[in-house]
Amino acid sequence: MSTAAEAAPKYTAPASIQVPAEQFPAPKVTRKNLIDVVSQEQVQRANVDGRMELFSRKNPNRIQPGSVLLVETLNSKAKESTSTFMGVVIAIRRKGLETTFTLRNLVMKVGVEQRFALYSPMLKSIKVLQQAGSKDIKFRRAKLFYLRDQPGKAFQSLQSLWKQEQAEKVAAKKN
Amino acid sequence: MVEVTCAIFFGKSPKFFTSPENSNIGPLIAMNSLTKLLPSITSAVATRSSRPIISACFHSSVTARQAASTADQQPAWTPQSQRVGVIARKKGMSTFWDEWGARMPTTILQLEDVQVLDVRTEEKHGYTALQVGCTNKKNVTKPVAIHYSKLNVEPKQSVAEFRVTDDALLPVGTILNAAHFVPGQYVDVTAPSIGKGFAGVMKRWNFAGLPASHGVSLAHRSAGSTGQRKWPSKVFKGKKMAGRMGGKSVTVQSLKVLKIDTELNLVYVKGCVPGFDDQFVKIKDAVKKHGAKRFPSDTLPPPFPTVKDADLQAMPRELIANSGEGKDPFTTKE
C-alpha cells in the first residue's frame, strides 16, 4: 500500500447505498453507554426543526397534555401533498427516538385518535393552537384517557380554533 | 524510491500467501505509522486512525507495490465463496426510518475488537475455517495468556469458528470491521436465547390449558391427558411437557443490514435478534440467499475476504441502505 495520500481511493456509493449528507464525527463512547450515546445522537439528527424542544421535560413552554395541536404530515415522499390533523394531546410517550404523542378530536361526531411519531421524517410540522397549563386550561393528569368517556368542555373550542386557523391561512395566502 | 509493504502475521499463515524464503524474516517496518504497533501486541483499537495495517499482502520478492496491485494478490469473490462471519455484541434496539419514511425496528450490533485468531486448513485439520475472537479480556490464566502472546493478539472473551471456502482465508490477527458487511445485504444472526427456566406447558408449547371455572379443580394450566389407554399403553417419546425453556442457540435468518457505522463498528440489522443486551452473537452472510442474491446487485463483489484498509479509510462514517426496488411504498396505483 502506497504511503501517498493521493493514491487512496475515494469511496463512491453505488445506487443501493446512500451516504447521509451530514456525517457527524463519532461520539466518545465507553462499553456501557454506547446505546445511550448513539440514541441521543440519532435524536439530535432527527431534531431538524427544534421539535425536541416542544416535548422536552425541562422546557417551561413545552407542550402539555390538553394542548391543541395542528399536525401536518406528508402522505408520501414522492408527492408534495400533506394531511393535517388537529386535536387535543391526550398522551405523550417519551422514549427518545421513538417518542410519540396522541391527538384526539371529534370528526363528524365520531371520536378519532391519531398517534404521531415525533421524529418521523413524514411529520412535516407541529403548530400549537392552544397551549395548556394556564389557570383555566389545566389538566391534572399526564394521560387524558378519561376524555374518551367524559369529554366535558375539552373539545368545544376546537371548532373555533379550526376556523381561526383557516382564516389565518387565507390571509397569509392573500399576502 | 522503493516502497515496501508487508504483512505482519504470526503463527499459521494461510495457503495463498507466499511464504518468505528466509523464515526468520522479522517484521519489515513500512514507512507509515507502523511504529504505533509497538509494543508488539497488535490490539484492535476502536478508532480508525491508529489501526495498524495488517491485511496487506506480502510477496517474497521485495518489489515496489502500489495500492492497485494488491488487488491481484487477493483472490476474487465468486458466488460460491463463503466469507468469514464475525462475533458481535447485541447492544440494544432502536427504530429506523428508511428513505421513503417507512419505519422499522432495528437491532444495534457492535463489533468489539474482533480479530482472526486461527486458521484451519484442509491438509492440517481436515476442514477450512477461521477462528474469530471478540472483546479483549484482561485477567486470564497463564496458559491462555501465553497462547495469545504467541499469536500477538490480546486475549479474547468470546471465540468461535466460521467455516469458509479456501479463497476466503485471512491471516491471524486480521481485524474485522463493520464495513465487512454491505448495507442492504442479508445476514443470519445466531445467539443463545434468553433462558425462561422451568416453563409450564402453556408457555413452552402454547397449550390451551383447562377452563377457569365449571368445576375444574387445581388443573387450570396443566397439559391434561398424555395419551390413550390400553393401546399403546405408553407415553410417546417427545411428548410435549413442561421443562426448561430457552438458553439454547437460536438462529434468525435473512435479516437485512440497514446501516453500518465504520467508526464505532456498529451494524444495524432489521428486526430482532435472540438474547439479552451485551450478548455475544455470531453474524454470517445469509445461508438461504444464494451467492449473489445475498448482496444488492450493484455492490457486487462484496469486500472479499474482508474490507481492505485503503477502502475502509476512504469510507465515510455512516452508510445506509436504500430500501428495495426504488418504489415509494406509500403511493397507490391509480
Do the domain assignments include residue A47? yes
Burial class (CB in 10 A: 0-12, 13-18, 19+), B261: buried
Average pLDDT of chain A is: 85
Residue A45 to residue B240: CA distance in whole angstroms: 50
Q: Any idea which residue has 491462555 for its cell?
A: B144
Nearest CA-CA partner of B312 in B110, B117, B133, B176 = B176
Contact B321 A2 (CB under 8 A): no
Do the domain assignments include residue A80? yes
Residue B34 to residue B232: CA distance in whole angstroms: 74
Provide the sign of the torsion angle of the four alpha carbons B93, B318, B270, B279, taken in this order.
Answer: negative
Q: Distance from A71 to chain B by nearest Cα, in Å?
A: 16
Confidence of residue B78 (pLDDT cuts 50, 70, 90): confident
Q: Chain B residues with CB inside 8 Å of A16's CB?
A: 183-184, 296-299, 321-322
- Could you report the predicted ipTM of this complex, rounded to two decimals? 0.84
Contact B3 A2 (CB under 8 A): yes
CATH code, domain carrying A64: 2.30.30.790
The answer on pLDDT for B9 being more than 70 is: no
Q: Any idea which residue has 391543541 for its cell?
A: A68
Residue of B nearest to A27 (CA): B264
Do the domain assignments include residue A8? no
Confidence of residue A21 (pLDDT cuts 50, 70, 90): low
Which of A110-124, B23-37, B247-261, B311-325 has the lowest average pLDDT? B23-37
What is the share, in percent, of chain B residues with pLDDT greater than 70? 76
Residue A109, domain extent = 34-170
**3-class secondary-structure state, position A133:** coil
Q: Chain B residues with CB inside 8 Å of A24's CB?
A: 317
Best to test chain B binding among A2, A10, A48 (most B CBs inside 10 Å): A2
Do the domain assignments include residue A59? yes
Burial class (CB in 10 A: 0-12, 13-18, 19+), B179: buried
**Which pLDDT belongs to residue B46?**
42
* B266-273: average pLDDT: 95
Do the domain assignments include residue A140? yes
The answer on pLDDT for B333 being more than 90 is: no
> Is the pTM of the predicted complex or chain greater than 0.80?
no
Strand partners, A112: A105
Contact B261 A26 (CB under 8 A): yes
Which of A8-22, B6-20, B190-204 has the lowest average pLDDT? B6-20
Q: Chain B residues with CB inside 8 Å of A78's CB?
A: 328, 330-331
**Which pLDDT belongs to residue A9?**
56
**Which pLDDT belongs to residue B301?**
83
The alpha carbon of B91 is separated from its chain's Cα centroid by a whole number of angstroms, namely 14
Q: Who among B5, B315, B321 is closest to A1 (CB)?
A: B5
Q: What is the pLDDT of residues A48-82, one digit of tens each?
A: 888 899 899 998 889 999 999 999 999 888 888 89
Do the domain assignments include residue A52? yes
**Which pLDDT belongs to residue B77?**
87
Q: Tell whether B270 lies on the interface with A, counting CB pairs under 8 A.
A: no
Do the domain assignments include residue A1? no
Q: Provide the edge-to-edge strand list for the sheet that holds A68-74.
A: A110-117, A100-107, A82-93, A68-74, A123-130
Domains contained in chain A, number: 1
* B271-286: average pLDDT: 94
Q: What is the pLDDT of residues B288-301, one digit of tens each?
A: 988 667 888 788 78
DSSP B244: E
Confidence of residue A32 (pLDDT cuts 50, 70, 90): confident
* A109-119: average pLDDT: 93
Q: Distance from B264 to chain A by nearest Cα, in Å?
A: 7
Residue B194 to residue B192: CA distance in whole angstroms: 7
Q: Distance from A133 to chain B by nearest Cα, in Å?
A: 31
Q: Chain A residues with CB inside 8 Å of B32's CB?
A: 3
The alpha carbon of B119 is separated from its chain's Cα centroid by a whole number of angstroms, namely 16
Do the domain assignments include residue A77? yes
Q: What is the pLDDT of residues A129-168, one digit of tens each?
A: 988 877 677 888 999 999 999 888 888 888 888 888 889 8
Chain A, chain B: beta-carbon pairs less than 8 Å apart: 122
C-alpha cell at A61: 413552554
